[in-house]
A and B are shown apart, each in its own frame.
Chain A
Amino acid sequence: MTVLAVSNLAKRYHRGGKPFAAVDDVSFKINPAETLALAGPSGSGKSTIARLVLRLIEPDAGRIDFEGADFLAVSGAALRARRARLQMVFQDPLAAFNPRATVARVLDDPLRIHGLASRAERPRHIAALLERVGLDPALAARAIHEISGGQRQRVAIARAIATRPSLVVLDEAVSALDVSVRGQILELLLDLQRQERIAYLFISHDLGVIRAVAHRVVILDAGRIAESGDARAVIANPQSAIGKALVAATPRLTRDRP
């Protein structure tokens, strides 16, 4: 079964009084335990698609089916309930959290809001979530602003998986991390995917990262799909002009490998 099917999605904005298509006739599907990457330059529509899929904004046209049902048809309490299955992790977790909250509070919210655990059970759930993402449960008492960027992104992932989602939208989720931390976070995401069969909509401008973790890639240019397919095949042999430009612009290390 397909987790997410997006059909003929369109979103127009106005810039300088003139309408322009941020997203134009975009269609794709994501299967369980699959990572679909969206790649493209700034302004290609990657993040607009993420926001449309999360229903943070409404499309002008098109259809979004999530877990087999029309996702655009639900609203109110039904939408909030559906959102437990559809989570997100953004680039900057500090901007996504209340900086004065503790780690425990950040993880308590989804459990409480979605009624996943009673008040008495929640501390145990929070400790388990922290362990799942490779953090010491003792971190629960710390303030969000006190922990490192890598730890914060682990907390963001813990919050995202707290509601047992079938799809997590990762919008440049590892872009701001140091390379050593980035590798660990990517490994964690892959572990969670294997264990829980979570699908990822993985948004990144970095083809190296996409190639490392994504099964398939959609390359966007000016709101339209320029090409799509198996991530490694597309990156090894891009057909579109924008795909070729992205590959050519990716810095390369020419090393003698043992």
Chain B
Amino acid sequence: MTALLSIRDLSVRYRRDGVEALKGLSLDVKTGERLAVIGESGSGKSTLALAVAGLLARGVKIEGTVEWKISRSRTPHSFAPPSVLPDISPSRGEIELSHPPSPILNAAEGEPAAELLISPLEGEMSGRTEGGAVERQLSHPRDTIPLLGRDIGFVFQDPSSSLDPVMPVGKQIAEVVRTHLKLSWRDSYTKAKTLLERVRIPDPDSVLHTYPHQLSGGQKQRVAIAAAIAAGPKLLIADEATSALDTIVQAEIVSLIRQLVAEDGMTLLFISHDIALAATLADRIAVLRHGELIELGETRQIVEAPRRAYTRALLDAHLGLDAEPLLDRQGASP
């Protein structure tokens, strides 16, 4: 299986004097796989997700490379004539993250500033753009940088903060469709409705016109997922996407993600603190600790035969329904 992206020696430091959030991490994400990245607070798992999506802020010091192998063949639901699409030849994009693009820096290097405004490294969430961004994107001269929202779908932990509170959810999804697939508003809304059906929102016709606050946490996360997959991304990143949900809704969202990833042939990067949850979904598990990749393997191997003591400790700390209750270990009784 080929790698969708190859991460090499990735180091991230948020503050000049701070510790490294990631320390020379190297990892291949295989095309079509479901890779879980697990770790505790401060392990660097979210930093890894943000770095892959190009969402780290400009002041953050990044070293190393994230190399993409995305063939830019559009999905069947793109109706745009090729003439207005960016160069669609299969490309082997390479971001030199040691030189994070900024308009000033790249303008100095002779790069067109317009490209930079829509670069994923500028941090546009889920491809949501204000007016004018579409036109800028069409002028995208080189199509080597994967675009967040189009090539990468990102689902965050808190759907309330990733959805616009004053925009109907149908428009939020339709905007992504319109921006990246170049459809008319009418077609974008039709597709938004289909997407709401795909994420199993009951009564999608009326939900198109509701605002996020009118939906439950689980429904909001379904909407966020619909927006994330709207443009048919190659890679779906779910960063603690179920952690704020109750157990039952969590299981439903995990099952939904599994189904959507399979149907659309997406690659999944599933970031979680919960090794048991990760194991229910992932083909492979990467274990991070203090910014370092300490173990990577097939899910079965990680769960049944971890090589590192830390991985074993994480497994042992899981309080499953078959674990020995702490009450018994202490011999306490009322």
* Overall SS of chain B's interface: helix
Q: Tell me which residues across on chain B come within 8 A of A187, comparing CB atoms.
A: 326, 330
Flag if B323 contacts A212 (CB, 8 Å). Answer: yes
Q: Which of B249, B252, B279, B326 has the most CB of A within 10 A?
A: B326
Take A41-B248, A178-B41, A245-B248 as given contacts and tell me if A250 and B321 are in contact as well, using a CB distance cutoff of 8 Å: yes
Number of interface residues of A (CB under 8 A): 44
- Interchain CB contact under 8 A, B245 and A42: yes
**Interface with A: B63-71, B196-204, B312-320, which one?**
B312-320
Residue B332 interfacial (CB < 8 Å): yes
A34 to B247, CA, bound (A): 25
Q: A194 CA to B332 CA in the complex, in Å?
A: 7
A208 contacts the other chain (CB 8 A): yes
Minimum C-beta distance from A77 to chain B (A): 32
Contact check, A205 vs B41: say whether CB atoms are below 8 A apart: no
Q: When each residue 226-244 of chain A gets 1 if its CB lies under 8 Å from chain B and 0 otherwise, what string results?
A: 0000001001100000000
Given known A32-B334, A190-B327, contact A212–B248 (CB-CB < 8 A) = no
A253 touches which of B279, B325, B327 (Cβ 8 Å): B279
* CB under 8 Å from chain B, chain A span 114-157: 149
Task: Please indicate the chain B residues that have their CB under 8 angstroms from the CB of A186 in the complex.
Answer: 326
Do A209 and B251 touch (CB < 8 A)? no
Asked whether A252 lies within 8 Å of B330 as measured between CB atoms, the reply is no
Chain A neighbourhood of B325, CB < 8 A:
211-213, 232
Q: Are A246 and B247 in contact (CB under 8 A)?
A: yes
Contact A41/B246 with A235-B321, A248-B251 known, Cβ cut-off 8 Å: yes
B residues 216-237 touching A (CB-CB < 8 Å): 216-218
Q: What 1/0 flags go to A191-213 for Cβ under 8 Å of B? A: 10110000000000111110111
* Given known contacts A31-B334, A32-B334, A205-B246, A212 and B327 CB-to-CB distance under 8 angstroms: yes
Closest residue on chain B to residue A187 by CB atoms: B326
Contact: A212 with B319, CB < 8 Å? yes
Using C-beta atoms within 8 Å of the partner chain, give the interface range for chain B: 35 or more
B102: Cβ under 8 A from any A Cβ: no
Residue in chain A with minimal CB distance to B250: A249
Chain B residues contacting A213 (CB-CB under 8 Å) are 325-327
Contacts A190-B326, A190-B332, A213-B327; A251 near B317 (Cβ below 8 A): no
Q: A235 CA to B247 CA in the complex, in Å?
A: 14
A204 to B280, alpha carbons, bound, how many Å?
Answer: 21
Is the beta-carbon distance between A178 and B40 smaller than 8 angstroms? yes
Selecting from B146-154, B160-168, B268-276, the interface stretch reads B268-276
Of residues 166 through 199 on chain A, the ones whose CB sits less than 8 Å from some CB of chain B are: 178-180, 182-183, 186-187, 190-191, 193-194
CA distance A41 to B248 in the complex (A): 7
Chain A residue nearest in CB terms to B313: A180
Contact of B304 with A by CB under 8 A: yes
| Chain B CB within 10 Å, residue with most, of A149, A179, A186, A256 | A179
Interface of chain A: mostly helix, strand, loop or mixed: helix
Contact of B317 among A180, A214, A248 (CB under 8 A): A180
In the complex, per-residue mask of B290-305: 1 if CB is within 8 Å of any chain A CB, else 0: 0000000000000110
Asked if B97 is an interface residue, CB under 8 A from chain A, the answer is no
Shortest Cβ gap from B62 to chain A (Å):
26
**Across the interface, do B321 and A208 meet the contact criterion of CB distance under 8 Å?**
yes
> How far, in Å, is B110 (CB) from chain A's closest CB?
45
Bound CA–CA A251/B251 (angstroms): 8
In the assembled complex, the CB of A223 is this many whole angstroms from the nearest CB of chain B, namely: 15
CB of A55 within 8 Å of the partner chain = no
- Let me know if A41 and B249 touch, CB within 8 A: yes
In the complex, A43→B249 CA distance in Å?
A: 12
CA distance A179 to B319 in the complex (A): 9
- Chain B, residue nearest A236 (CB): B321
Beyond known contacts A179-B40, A209-B319: 15 more, CB 8 A cutoff: A32-B334, A33-B332, A33-B334, A42-B245, A179-B275, A182-B317, A194-B332, A206-B247, A211-B319, A246-B248, A249-B247, A251-B251, A251-B279, A253-B320, A255-B303
Using CB atoms and an 8 Å cutoff, list the residues of chain A in contact with chain B: 31-34, 41-43, 149, 178-180, 182-183, 186-187, 190-191, 193-194, 205-209, 211-215, 232, 235-236, 245-256
8 A–B contacts from the bound complex (CB under 8 Å): A179-B275, A183-B317, A206-B319, A208-B323, A248-B251, A249-B247, A250-B320, A253-B315
